Amino acid sequence: MYTILAADDAKDTLMLLEFDLQAEGYQVLKAEDGESALAAINNNNVDILLLDLYMPGMSGIETLKQLKATPEQANIPVIMLSASDDEDKIVEALELGAHDYVTKPYIAKVLLARIRNAIRLREKTLTLENLAKTDFLTKLNNKGSFEQLSLKAINQGSRAMNNMAVAMIDIDHFKAVNDNYGHEAGDIVLKQFAQLLAQTFRDYDIVGRVGGEEFAVCMPEVNQHDAVNACERFRKAVEQTPMELGNEQIFVTTSIGVACAQHIEVGYDFNQMMQAADKFLYDAKQLSRNVTLS
């Protein structure tokens, strides 16, 4: 179901919109000024914004500007609604990135057709955004998305996070899998390894593929002891889980480096933590492989 946010200072317009949109099966949220519209977008999954041009306090134009300046929200299609057909206003709104402009009183049939258009754009955008964040082979977060989500976890809470851990995970002697069974078999192993990884860690841990046969897990609110335990559980699961290659089963092992930090503040340098984990991974490879070091 699609969620449409209607922002208008005129209560009768809001009620009319709610009636017409709900009749089409949309979920409708209402806001009476720009500030509440932006707050509603922060707190809900809004697909389309219907935005009145003139409202007391923050105007529709100002609301539009702020929305477009917020990267995660800039792709929500905005349809401006206004009693004014001032050409300069229409041009200004479209140049600021509004998807469409509809004059009030609106014709329901026409507005609904314009909304369906905006929803098609929304769907395409979401599909592309998803593709850009996902590793094609394993369907895990790709490197960019892994780092972005980890940074978001760091910068989200207003107060400091007590602990955070990052694990860098690399399959041992993976080149030999490709050499002995072929590149396609190698791909199958990567997929099964990724599945095991996603299953083993908690839902709110961030899991990604950050290199060819290299994976990473960001664990918010986890101390060193628990992080190492979780990684060891995964390392042993890998050791014991046969990878299914059609008519053959093979076993692989993995080396893991874990770095932890305490009292993570907004703006913490996540890269530094990744590098520390990488260093432990390097040591794990030097030591023996099939081991977790922190």
Provide Rg for the chain, Cα atoms.
25
Segment 252-291, which members bind ligand GH3 (CB under 6 A)? 285, 289
Q: Under the criterion CB under 6 A, does residue 172 sit at the interface with ligand GH3?
A: yes
Q: Is 221 in the site for Mg ion (CB under 5 A)?
A: no
| Residue span binding ligand GH3 (CB under 6 A) among the ranges 77-85, 169-177, 241-249, 268-276 | 169-177
Contact flag: residue 157 with ligand GH3 (CB under 6 A):
no
**Bridge partners, 207 (sequence order):** 217
Residues 141, 149 contacting (CB under 8 angstroms): yes
Is the Cβ of residue 174 or residue 201 nearer to ligand GH3 in the bound state?
174
Nearer to Mg ion, 60 or 220 (CB): 60
From the list Mg ion, ligand GH3, none, partner contacted by residue 9 (C-beta under 5 to 8 A by kind):
Mg ion
- Choose between 182 and 242: whose C-beta lies nearer to ligand GH3: 182
**Cα dihedral 73/79/81/87 (nearest 10):** 110
Does position 190 interact with ligand GH3 (CB under 6 A)? The reply is yes
- Site residues (CB under 5 A) for Mg ion, limited to 144-183: 170-171, 174
Residue number with CB closer to Mg ion (9 or 18): 9
For position 54 contacting Mg ion by CB under 5 A, the verdict is yes
268 binds Mg ion per the rule CB under 5 A = no
**Residue among 178, 223, 224, 290 that touches ligand GH3 (CB under 6 A):** 178
Q: Quote the least distance from Cβ 55 to Mg ion, whole Å.
A: 5
CB of 280 to ligand GH3, least distance (A): 14
Cβ-based nearer residue to Mg ion, 175 or 202: 175
From the list ligand GH3, Mg ion, none, partner contacted by residue 183 (C-beta under 5 to 8 A by kind): ligand GH3
190 binds, among ligand GH3, Mg ion, none (CB under 5 to 8 A by kind): ligand GH3
Q: How far apart are CA 273 and CA 258, in angstroms?
A: 9
Nearest to 32 by CA among 6, 68, 2: 6
Instruction: Looking at residues 207 to 226 of the shown chain, list those that interact with ligand GH3 (rule: CB under 6 A).
Output: 212-213
Q: Which of 120, 124, 139, 173 binds ligand GH3 (CB under 6 A)?
A: 173
Residue closer to Mg ion (CB basis): 213 or 278:
213
Positive or negative, the CA dihedral 124, 128, 130, 134 is positive
Binding site for ligand GH3 (CB under 6 A): 137, 170-175, 178, 183, 186-187, 190, 212-213, 285, 289
Binding site for Mg ion (CB under 5 A): 9, 52, 54-55, 170-171, 174, 213-214
